[in-house]
């Protein structure tokens, strides 16, 4: 196999993401013919066909998928290098659980004012970004890290509680209390089945919830459903999303959730990273 070119690898990555030569060209600002030539060059260097092309799109062969993984690693590394080279400017990428995105946004407002030349990219996602591989500069997680290249700090413990809309309470729970054995009579709103093992999901079922009228992987969608009166849902007590909702008393308290902040050891002396970490920590201390 000849030496691979990053320019050709990023074309392969774009084809993989777009599913077609045309889509890859639009993403990279290149013509379809240029995309095709780059793929030809990559296949010549690899000594084999990597992409099956048809009228309906493209399909990558197993060898090409391994190259896609390599390209993604290079992409993350190059992005991290660019961020390191612009200490007080550029982009700072922060990965947080989807449900914590509003809270983390508020915690970083002071940072945005202090470092106006730094563009903040806050990624609310259900997966855990690989901070050790520099997919993100800072990560907030629900579990402890096992990587020895990461600095980890305990941020806070927040408790879950049950909430409903004012209209739902008026129609179905005028006492604002969910008594023992009453949960089965109410519809609930929660995360999709992939997350049923999370403590607050298990707690709702332990209260007696039997019907989830609405499920989603998005906390924003869950909030909207609750505000619309679809049913009851568990939110963190300090979650800005619960503002305007009615807290429902329950027989047992909601579970407590720990949050941890991690960042790469190589970034310990970067002023913008230290400032962002300090801003997050200060906000969390003030709102525990």
User: Which residues have C-beta within 8 Å of that of residue 116, sequence separation ≥ 6?
Assistant: none
User: Which pair of structure tokens corresponds to residue 288?
Assistant: 């525990």
Q: What is the pLDDT of residue 82?
A: 60
The phi, psi pair for 259, rounded to 5°, reads -125, 140
Degrees, nearest 5: CA angle 196-201-203 = 135
Spatial distance between the Cα atoms of 227 and 121, rounded to a whole number of angstroms: 28
**Residue appearing with tokens 């609310």:** 124
Spatial distance between the Cα atoms of 94 and 68, rounded to a whole number of angstroms: 24
**Nearest partner of 190 among 160, 168, 167, judged by Cα:** 160
Q: What is the pLDDT of residue 41?
A: 83
Q: What is the pLDDT of residue 80?
A: 65
The phi, psi pair for 262, rounded to 5°, reads -130, 150
Q: Are 140 and 260 in contact (CB under 8 A)?
A: yes
Spatial distance between the Cα atoms of 174 and 179, rounded to a whole number of angstroms: 12
pLDDT in tens, the chain (288 residues): 455 677 778 888 888 888 888 888 888 888 888 888 888 888 888 788 888 888 778 888 888 788 888 777 767 766 665 655 444 556 889 999 888 888 889 888 888 888 888 889 998 877 778 888 888 899 998 888 888 899 999 998 889 999 999 999 999 998 999 998 999 999 999 998 888 888 999 999 999 999 999 999 888 899 999 999 999 999 998 788 888 999 999 999 999 988 999 999 888 878 888 888 888 888 887 776
Spatial distance between the Cα atoms of 86 and 7, rounded to a whole number of angstroms: 23
- Full DSSP string of 165-191: -HHHHHHH-TTSEE-TT-GGGS-EEEE
Helix (H, G, I), strand (E, B) or coil at 232: strand
Neighbours of 65 (CB within 10 A): 12
Q: What is the pLDDT of residue 77?
A: 65
């Amino acid at each position: 196999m000849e030496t691979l070119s990053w320019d050709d690898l990023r074309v392969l990555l774009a084809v993989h993401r777009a599913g077609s030569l045309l889509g890859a060209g639009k993403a990279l600002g290149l013509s379809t013919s240029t995309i095709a030539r780059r793929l030809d060059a990559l296949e010549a260097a690899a000594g084999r066909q990597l992409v099956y092309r048809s009228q309906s799109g493209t399909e990558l062969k197993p060898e090409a998928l391994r190259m896609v993984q390599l390209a993604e690693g290079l992409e993350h590394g190059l992005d991290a290098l660019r961020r390191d080279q612009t200490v007080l400017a550029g982009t700072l990428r922060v990965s947080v659980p989807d449900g914590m995105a509003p809270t983390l946004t508020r915690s970083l407002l002071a940072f945005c004012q202090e470092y106006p030349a730094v563009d903040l990219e806050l990624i609310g996602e259900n997966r855990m970004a690989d901070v050790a591989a520099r997919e993100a500069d800072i990560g907030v997680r629900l579990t402890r890290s096992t990587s020895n290249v990461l600095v980890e700090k305990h941020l806070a413990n927040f408790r879950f509680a049950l909430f409903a809309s004012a209209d739902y309470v008026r129609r179905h729970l005028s006492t604002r209390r969910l008594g023992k054995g009453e949960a089965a009579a109410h519809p609930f709103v929660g995360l999709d089945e992939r997350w049923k093992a999370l403590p607050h999901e298990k707690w709702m079922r332990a209260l007696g919830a039997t019907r989830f009228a609405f499920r989603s992987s998005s906390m924003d969608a869950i909030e909207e459903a609750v505000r619309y009166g679809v049913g009851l849902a568990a939110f963190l007590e300090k979650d800005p999303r619960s503002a305007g909702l009615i807290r429902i008393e329950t027989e047992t308290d909601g579970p407590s959730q720990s949050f941890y902040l991690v960042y790469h050891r190589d970034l310990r002396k970067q002023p913008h990273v230290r400032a962002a970490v300090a801003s997050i920590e200060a906000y969390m201390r003030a709102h525990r």
